[in-house]
Structure formats: C-alpha cells, structure tokens
A and B are shown apart, each in its own frame.
Chain A
Amino acid sequence: MYLTVFAKISSIIEDFKFVFFEDLRYMKIVEGFLNTLKITAGALLIGVIIGIIIAAVRTSFDKNKESMKLRGGVGYYILSFLNFLCQIYLTVIRGTPVVVQLMISYFVIFVSTDNGVLIGIFAFGINSGAYVAEIFRAGIMSIDNGQFEAGRSLGFNYFQTMKNIIIPQMFKAVLPTLCNEFIALLKETSVAGYVGVMDLTKAGNIVAGRTFQYFIPLFTVAIIYLVVVMILTSLVGRLERRLRKSDR
C-alpha cells in the first residue's frame, strides 16, 4: 500500500523532471511568465494614465458644463468635444472583445513590427484604460462636492484641486475595485498567445504539446497565476490599511 503511494509520487516527480528540465523546457515557462508580467505592468501603467485623463475630462464636463455655459467662451465647446471623444473611446473599447482588439493591433495597426510584447502592452493598456476610466469616474463622483468647493475656495484651480485633493481621496475609495481590474487584466493577458506572444499560458501550452503531458504544465501555469494574484491582493490589502489610518 505504502509502496504504491511511493511509486505514484516518484513517477510524478519523474514526469515533472521530464516535462520541465529535459531540453531546458522550464526556460519557456520563465520566459512566458516574464512576458506576462511585462505586458500586465505596462498595460496597467497605460491604463491608469488613460483612466485618470478620461475620468478627469468626463467628470469635469459633468460638473462644470452649466457654469461654463454661463461664463461663456470657447472652454465649454472644447470640453464638450473632448467629452464626446472620450465617450466614443469608451463605447468602442468596451463594446468589442479584447482578443479582437489585440488582433487588430497586431495584424492591422502595427504590421511593420513583430514585437508582440510591446503590441500586447499597447492593446491591453488601451483596453484596460476604458475600464479604469469608469472606475476612477465613479470614485471621483463618490467624493463630496464640498471637497471640490473647499479646494476651489482656497484658490486652487480645477486641475490643482483634482491633483491635490480629489485624486488622493479617490484612489483610496477605488482601491478594491482597481485591484479587481488588475487581477482581471493579468488573467486577460493569457489571450496574448493569439498573436504569437510567448506569454505564460502559451508557454504552458507549448510545453504540453511537446511532451504530450497536459496535467503538469497546465496546473503549473494555473498555480503561477494564482500565486501572483494572491501576492497582488495582499499588497493592495496592505496599502489599503495604510491609507485607512486617517479614518480612525
């Protein structure tokens, strides 16, 4: 009885060695993992930057359109035009699948380059920006208008008020939702293989295909995703607790 369990375990270890260490196949997984991290981190950065800009334009339009109309001038028309552009972006990006956007980026927009990782960063960044923008917009709207008024009454202009007063408070409010978006983004990058990028999922798939062993490579890949998500969650949790020290 013990002997059979022992035999089973040792055969799994043998398989594991065969799958990952013969022909240095583990390097594929490492490469894929690094690419997944690069794409996620880059897309995150682009997404947050796009998100802040779009959320600022959209909330500024909603908040100030009445008073800008009253004060007159071209400001109102510029802002409505920007708001219109943002709405088109949000509609198109949220209305089409990310895989299609990725393929359009790879096969139509950036035909001249085959740096899949950069294209992945671009495509996932643009995609994530739309979702992050709406998360930030919700965050900004959840902040009491009195905070805006206090900032403006001290003499800050609109953007200084946003930067110094509103956005720091907004970040705290949206952190859990933002973390959710990061997790979704990390896992979404697993479709990067569609355009030939060697990401973690693709690497697992290749190893599986070469060794005709599916159990070990795919579970390894799943566990790596899981661990990264758990680390991310705990980091965000720690950050949240730090930011929460002002609500005692």
Chain B
Amino acid sequence: MTDNILIKVKDLKKHYNGGAVKALDGIICEIRKGEVVVIIGPSGSGKSTFLRSLNLLEIPTAGHIYFEGTDITERKVNINNHRQKMGMVFQHFNLFPNMTVLKNMTIAPMQLLGKSKEEAEKQAFEMLERVGLKDRADAYPSQLSGGQKQRVAIVRALCMSPDVMLFDEPTSALDPEMVGEVLDVMKELAADGMTMAVVTHEMGFAKEVATRVIFMDDGKILEEGTPKEIFENPQNPRLKDFLSKVL
C-alpha cells in the first residue's frame, strides 16, 4: 500500500511575518497514484499556497513533503529534478509569449530530457492533436483565446511526462464559455489515470471527477472525503456554510 503513495505531506506550515499570518497551519495529507484530489475552500484559505508548496514554488516554514519517497524539503535534494516529474498549470497560463506554441512545448523536453528536435516536436504534435489544437502549433500565445492558452499550458506540462499534475485554479481566469473546453481536457486526463491535484471553484468538476475532495480553511484541512460525502453529507459547519454559498 505504501508504495502507492506519490506525495506525502507531513505537518506542513507556511507562516508570514514571523508567524503572525499562518497561510498553512499543519497540513497532513497523502496523494496516491491515480487519485484526483480536488481542493476547495474560500479565498485566502491557503489552498493555492498548499498546492504551490507541493513543488516548492512556495518554500514551507516547517514540515516535510515526500515525493516518490524523497523528502524534497531537504536542502540537499535537487528540486529541479523532481519538478520535472510534477507538471503545473497556472491560473494565468504563463505561456512564454515570445515563443510559438510548438516552442513552448518543446523547449523543456529538449533542454532537460535531452530529446531531439524531431522527437520533441512529434510528441508535441501528438499532444496538440489530443486537445484539438494541432493547427495552432505555429501561433504565438497572444493569438490564442484563453481556453486555447490553458489547453496549451496543460499539454506543455504533459510534454515532460510528469507523474502528477498540479492545477492552480486553471479555469478562474477564463471567460465562462471557455471553462468547458479546459475541464474536458482535464477530465480526459483523469480518465487516462493521471494523478492530479486540483485547486478549483468548479464544484461540478469536483463532484464528477474527483476521487477525493479536501476542504481547507484558515490554512488547515477541515474535512476530506469522497465527493458524495463532502457535497451530500458535510459535517464541518464551515464547510456547510461554504457550500451553501457556492452551490
């Protein structure tokens, strides 16, 4: 059972101003292979901070994160090697504006995995085909719609063949009519068995796709369970209050 655990978080803390602000206050959590973990909670609850600490974009104040058995919070660990195995998708896409879609997707595999240009481009085209953007390979990000940008951002991360994908509010910056196309790609990814951790406000996605839902507030995990348990039978009063506002 233990070798099934991909990410293990032990008593993770992130404090600002010497402890006056506790963005994360003792998070304990495990993510197993193939799970789709959706993290929900009110804004300022620490859910984005939590997700961003998983690949150390935020350096935690205390606690440990084990990724594939290695404690990546250890100073001696080369975090760059582990980040290659953790794809990340951002709220604001963060595509490289000076590169074409194809270049966005091939630069990291070519430089970091030592792939040849042909190999990397072949893989990129296959990925683009999957998300229906093969004909936009030579476009620049500024020529794409928000939904297209986010789909490219997802496949850019997938080009590194990660073991887990982290999504930081992937649909929050999109026009409503474009949310669906991005969620569809994510659903497909989940169906393929990708391990995913998703911070989102899309409760529909959480209900439909999540294998587990985590509710966070004030930097703590207040409740977790299957979507059924969380949405149909919430226990924590703050979760009840949160759901009454968003559903």
Interface residues of chain A, those whose CB is within 8 Å of chain B, are 66-67, 70-73, 144, 146-147, 149-150, 152-157, 160, 164-165, 168-169, 172, 243, 245-248
A152→B97 contact, CB < 8 A: no
Count residues of chain B with CB under 8 A from any CB of chain A: 33
Least Cβ–Cβ distance between A79 and chain B, in angstroms: 15
For residue A245, which residues in chain B have a CB less than 8 angstroms away from its CB? Answer: 140
Most buried by A among B59, B88, B98: B98
For residue B142, which residues in chain A have a CB less than 8 angstroms away from its CB? Answer: 246-248
For residue B55, which residues in chain A have a CB less than 8 angstroms away from its CB? Answer: 153
Least Cβ–Cβ distance between B158 and chain A, in angstroms: 11
B157→A154 contact, CB < 8 A: yes
- Contacting residue for A155 out of B81, B94, B143, CB 8 A: B81
Complex CA gap A245/B95 in Å reads 16
Complex CA gap A219/B94 in Å reads 52
Interface string of B76-109 (1 = CB under 8 A from A): 0000110110111010101111111000000110
B108→A169 contact, CB < 8 A: no
A247→B97 contact, CB < 8 A: yes
A153→B59 contact, CB < 8 A: no
B94→A147 contact, CB < 8 A: yes
Decide if B75 is an interface residue (CB 8 Å cutoff).
yes
Least Cβ–Cβ distance between B165 and chain A, in angstroms: 11
A70→B160 contact, CB < 8 A: no
For residue B81, which residues in chain A have a CB less than 8 angstroms away from its CB? Answer: 155
B83→A246 contact, CB < 8 A: no
For residue A66, which residues in chain B have a CB less than 8 angstroms away from its CB? Answer: 59
B140→A164 contact, CB < 8 A: no
Least Cβ–Cβ distance between B29 and chain A, in angstroms: 20
B59→A246 contact, CB < 8 A: no
B98→A71 contact, CB < 8 A: no
Interface majority SS on B: helix, strand, loop or mixed? Answer: loop
For residue A150, which residues in chain B have a CB less than 8 angstroms away from its CB? Answer: 88, 90, 94-96
A155→B160 contact, CB < 8 A: yes
For residue B141, which residues in chain A have a CB less than 8 angstroms away from its CB? Answer: 246
A155→B98 contact, CB < 8 A: no
Least Cβ–Cβ distance between B15 and chain A, in angstroms: 10
Least Cβ–Cβ distance between B159 and chain A, in angstroms: 9
- Contacting residue for A67 out of B59, B80, B87, B107, CB 8 A: B59
A246→B108 contact, CB < 8 A: no
Complex CA gap A247/B139 in Å reads 11
With A67-B59, A149-B57, A169-B97: A154-B143 Cβ-Cβ less than 8 Å: no
Decide if B61 is an interface residue (CB 8 Å cutoff).
yes
A154→B98 contact, CB < 8 A: no
Least Cβ–Cβ distance between B3 and chain A, in angstroms: 24
Decide if B191 is an interface residue (CB 8 Å cutoff).
no
B92→A146 contact, CB < 8 A: yes
B97→A164 contact, CB < 8 A: no
- Contacting residue for B61 out of A70, A165, A168, A247, CB 8 A: A70
- Contacting residue for B83 out of A67, A152, A168, CB 8 A: A152
For residue B96, which residues in chain A have a CB less than 8 angstroms away from its CB? Answer: 147, 150, 165, 169
For residue A149, which residues in chain B have a CB less than 8 angstroms away from its CB? Answer: 57, 88, 90, 94
B90→A146 contact, CB < 8 A: yes
13 inter-chain pairs at a CB distance below 8 angstroms, sorted by A residue, are A147-B96, A150-B88, A150-B94, A152-B80, A153-B55, A153-B83, A153-B157, A156-B80, A156-B108, A156-B111, A169-B96, A246-B99, A246-B142
Complex CA gap A172/B60 in Å reads 35
Complex CA gap A156/B55 in Å reads 13
Least Cβ–Cβ distance between A158 and chain B, in angstroms: 9
With A160-B111, A246-B142: A155-B90 Cβ-Cβ less than 8 Å: no
Complex CA gap A155/B87 in Å reads 9
For residue B100, which residues in chain A have a CB less than 8 angstroms away from its CB? Answer: 246
With A149-B90, A153-B57, A154-B83: A246-B140 Cβ-Cβ less than 8 Å: yes
Decide if B21 is an interface residue (CB 8 Å cutoff).
no
Q: Across the two chains, which residue of chain B brings its CB closest to A73?
A: B75
Least Cβ–Cβ distance between A187 and chain B, in angstroms: 31
A154→B75 contact, CB < 8 A: no
